[in-house]
């Protein structure tokens, strides 16, 4: 394993499970000191046991700007610097344009877009204060480009995350700060387990994905780690789709399963 992140400090939100956990482990394996943030206190408490000595955890509500600011401040106080900020935390409440409640829309947009906004701008301020060319990676989704039934809040907010990343890359390039988005397709994670457990659902997805399977979290994490590394020193403002070519075919009609 290379040591691209030796002496580097990385924050990963949503870092206790799924894609976030896989990314945190890969960063640690490549030499980084990693701080994982999540709202789940029980899982944060188990971080030393599950991740090893180079990874610490902090309970953080990523939809609260003051909490994200505290996360960065504590990380810098502990490790002296910050080199990369990875926004993975996200989720959704399903609904259509005409029936989603304002509460569910707000929940989804705050969890996906506001968290990425807070993380991106506060990490940028820290990099600028240090005079450092840091890296930011925001996890969007294939749904940033491809719509799906029952996903109005999710698709809209993830499209906004992808554009936020481009906008930030434009604004921050003069400071040497790189910002990119990663847009996964279907991934086997705790968040997708319930949906994929619906009878016939996994087969319907697999039929539409040219590689005929979901990704493993580690396959998405590899792209995140690459974009945060010096190997991607001239890569900024991209939306990096990692979906097994699913974008070429589109979603199955989820109304057959969830209507």
Encode pLDDT of 196-227 as tens digits: 788 888 898 899 999 999 999 999 999 999 99
Asked whether residue 2 is assigned to any structural domain, the reply reads no
Asked whether residue 33 is assigned to any structural domain, the reply reads yes
Our answer to whether residue 114 is catalytic in this structure is no
Domain that holds residue 135: 9-258
What pLDDT shows up at residue 1? Answer: 66
What pLDDT shows up at residue 85? Answer: 98
What pTM, to 2 d.p., does this model score? 0.94
What pLDDT shows up at residue 90? Answer: 94
**Band of the pLDDT at 195, cuts 50, 70, 90?**
confident
CA–CA gap between residue 145 and residue 161 (Å, rounded)? 11
How buried is residue 83: exposed, middle or buried, by Cβ count under 10 Å (0-12/13-18/19+)?
Answer: buried
Q: Are 96 and 149 in contact (CB under 8 A)?
A: yes
User: For residue 193, is pLDDT > 90?
Assistant: no
Asked whether residue 4 is assigned to any structural domain, the reply reads no
What pLDDT shows up at residue 259? Answer: 62
Asked whether residue 60 is assigned to any structural domain, the reply reads yes
Residue-wise pLDDT tens digits, 145-170: 999 999 999 999 999 999 999 999 99
CA–CA gap between residue 199 and residue 201 (Å, rounded)? 6
Residue of 114, 118, 154, 251 with catalytic role: 154
Q: What's the structural domain count of the chain? A: 1
Q: Average pLDDT, stretch 19-42? A: 96
Q: Average pLDDT, stretch 77-99? A: 96
Asked whether residue 97 is assigned to any structural domain, the reply reads yes
């Amino acid at each position: 394993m290379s040591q691209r992140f030796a002496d580097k400090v990385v924050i990963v939100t949503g870092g206790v499970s799924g894609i976030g956990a896989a990314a945190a482990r890969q960063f640690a394996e490549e030499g980084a000191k990693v701080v994982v943030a999540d709202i789940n206190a029980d899982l944060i408490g188990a971080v030393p046991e599950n991740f090893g000595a180079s990874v610490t955890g902090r309970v953080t509500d990523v939809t609260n700007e003051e909490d994200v600011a505290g996360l960065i401040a504590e990380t810098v106080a502990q490790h002296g610097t910050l080199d990369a900020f990875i926004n993975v935390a996200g989720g959704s409440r399903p609904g259509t344009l005409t029936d989603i409640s304002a509460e569910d829309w707000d929940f989804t947009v705050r969890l996906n877009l506001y968290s990425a906004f807070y993380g991106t701008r506060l990490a940028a301020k820290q990099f600028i204060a240090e005079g450092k060319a840091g890296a930011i990676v925001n996890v969007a989704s294939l749904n940033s480009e491809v719509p799906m039934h029952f996903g109005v809040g999710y698709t809209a907010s993830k499209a906004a995350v992808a554009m936020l990343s481009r906008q930030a890359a434009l604004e921050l390039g003069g400071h040497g700060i790189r910002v990119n988005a990663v847009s996964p397709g279907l991934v086997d994670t705790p968040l997708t387990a319930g949906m994929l457990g619906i009878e016939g659902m996994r087969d319907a997805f697999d039929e539409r994905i040219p590689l005929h399977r979901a990704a493993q979290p580690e396959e998405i994490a590899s792209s995140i780690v690459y974009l945060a590394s010096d190997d991607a020193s001239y890569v900024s403002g991209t939306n990096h789709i990692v979906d097994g070519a699913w974008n070429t075919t589109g979603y199955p009609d989820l109304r057959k399963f969830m209507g």
